[in-house]
Amino acid sequence: MRFTLVSNLLGLLLNMQLLAQPGSSCTTPTPLPHHYAFIEQHREGLSTENSFRLPVTLHIIRTSNGSSSFNSQWAVDALCAVNARFQAVGICFYLAGPVRFINRTDLTNPPSFAAASAILDEFNVARTINIYYTNLANFGTCAFAFFPGIGPGGPQNQGGVVMGTNCASDDGALLAHELGHYFNLPHTFNETSDNPRDWLFAERVTRNNNEPAPRLSANCNNSSDRFCDTPADFLPVRWPCPTSITQTDTNGDLFQPDATLYMGYARDSCMQRFSPQQIAVMRATLSTPTAPRAYLLLQPQTVGVSSLTTPQLLQPGTVDSQITVSNGSFQWSRSLNAQWYHFRLFQFTNQMVVDTVVSDTFWQAPNGLLRINRPYRWQVRALGRDAYCSHPSPFFNFTAALNTSVFDTKGTQIKMYPQPSTGFIQLAGFSADEKVRLELYSLQGQRLQSSNLQCDDAGQTTWAYDYIPNGLYTILLHAKSNHYRLRMHHFNP
Ligand SMILES: [Zn+2]
């Protein structure tokens, strides 16, 4: 018997070595006795509330000058994906505030678990789920989280989740795993392989409580993760699915762990569910009288909004347009339901120059940021508290010019009349037969009407527009080589 056990373990260790990927682990601390007690108390009783809406604060750690190789949109995308993955749990997540950028070089590569944990003490936002992104490669981990009731951050901003930018992806699988810990779920292989207490203690395959001797009866209720609806699992290393790995428990029963469970270590692409008992416990951390995460429900509940419109980039507005180095003013249209805008500016295609979240529909480049004749591209994504699964705008390219703004029609031959106009405008100054794209915007940046115009052989064209209230409007003209912005006064007495 002992020999069999040893050979089983040796086989298991060989398997682990074959499968182990450096830096692929989760270093969430082992649960404490009160976490097991909580599971045993709540795994059978599913709470009856329909769904919980929980506030999240996203923190992205960068160097002191604001640079990072991490694609910050992934933090939002992963949260969006995790929302879908938690639908069966009846939990959805909303943004409690704008994405927070922490520009501190000393926090970009924490050397130890303790150093990474200390970040939470300094930056946690109370009564929200704090999710951080920084590089965790220095101590060989991908991510970690804190079980309820422990961890840095004080009684109401307690613990959180730290995601390694060295392992981060936008699919939300690893984040779902870490949030499982945050809501009191151990690994499915807990206390069996990564932290063995006793080989006899390892979870058995059988669910029969009266096995005939010498077989041992079921122990799923008080071993491993304490869930009987998650099968035995002895694999604390990343493993692919489907798998040919079979393992043997203390009864000699062959089994394969369940690759679909988030709380195991199957590859991200295999994970897709929490078990009913796991769901009951996660919900109990929010809703029972002594629920350790109930403070997450103290925030004002927001009204769900399912969609956001994609912002229209206005200035610099299209391919090959130009902007001056001394006046780099970026403008985009307002999106319905948006609270914030994620603005990103790159030079030479992929080099990040600016990555920030603002609440208005413009961003002003500080003098000296933009360099003459350098190619840039920029993009804006609307973010709402609830609707953050939005598409970013397409990238628009421009080159910074010295001091001539081509958007200003002053000093150019482009003319528009009459002013005020009453339902049509005439445009002149283009090349013969030139095609011009016209867009009409409100002063709030909302695109109201647009039209493709064909100039005559004198470079002139006329545009009759649909009804608009009397007032001031902005017109953008996109011609073959240049782009123009004009103010239009509509007045129909
Ligand atoms: Zn884990």
Question: pLDDT per residue over 327-372, tens digit each?
Answer: 678 989 999 889 999 999 999 878 999 999 999 999 988 877 888 7
How much distance in Å is there from the Cα of 176 to the middle of ligand 1? 10
How much distance in Å is there from the Cα of 345 to the middle of ligand 1? 35
- CA 130, CA 332: separation in Å to the nearest integer? 30
- Say what the pLDDT of residue 200 is: 67
- Say what the pLDDT of residue 16 is: 34
How much distance in Å is there from the Cα of 230 to the middle of ligand 1? 15
How much distance in Å is there from the Cα of 386 to the middle of ligand 1? 27
- Taking residues 267-288, report their average pLDDT: 94
- Say what the pLDDT of residue 317 is: 58
Going by C-alpha positions, the residue among 177, 114, 102 that lies closest to residue 142 is 177
β-bridge pairing 321-324 and 329-332? unpaired
How much distance in Å is there from the Cα of 303 to the middle of ligand 1? 32
How much distance in Å is there from the Cα of 27 to the middle of ligand 1? 6
- Say what the pLDDT of residue 324 is: 64
Q: Minimum mean pLDDT among 158-162, 202-206, 220-224, 241-245: which range?
A: 241-245
Residue type, 120: L
Where residue 18 falls among pLDDT bands split at 50, 70, 90? very low
- CA 149, CA 159: separation in Å to the nearest integer? 8
How much distance in Å is there from the Cα of 179 to the middle of ligand 1? 9
How much distance in Å is there from the Cα of 48 to the middle of ligand 1? 27
Where residue 256 falls among pLDDT bands split at 50, 70, 90? confident
Is a pLDDT exceeding 50 seen at residue 4? Answer: no
How much distance in Å is there from the Cα of 145 to the middle of ligand 1? 8
How much distance in Å is there from the Cα of 202 to the middle of ligand 1? 18
- Say what the pLDDT of residue 410 is: 58
Tens of pLDDT, residue by residue over 209-244, are: 999 999 999 999 988 899 999 988 888 888 888 888
How much distance in Å is there from the Cα of 332 to the middle of ligand 1? 41
Where residue 404 falls among pLDDT bands split at 50, 70, 90? very low
Q: Which domains does the chain have, with CATH numbers?
A: 31-185+274-297 (3.40.390), 313-401 (2.60.40.10), 415-490 (2.60.40.3080)
How much distance in Å is there from the Cα of 183 to the middle of ligand 1? 12
Where residue 246 falls among pLDDT bands split at 50, 70, 90? confident
How much distance in Å is there from the Cα of 123 to the middle of ligand 1? 23
Going by C-alpha positions, the residue among 274, 275, 286, 292 that lies closest to residue 49 is 286
Is a pLDDT exceeding 70 seen at residue 419? Answer: yes
How much distance in Å is there from the Cα of 233 to the middle of ligand 1? 14
Query: Which residues, including other chains, have CB under 8 Å from residue 461's CB and lie 6 or more apart?
Result: 426, 427, 430, 436, 453, 454, 455
Q: Are 430 and 459 in contact (CB under 8 A)?
A: yes
How much distance in Å is there from the Cα of 162 to the middle of ligand 1? 11
Going by C-alpha positions, the residue among 317, 488, 477 that lies closest to residue 413 is 477
The SS3 of residue 335 is coil
Higher pLDDT, 296 or 314: 296
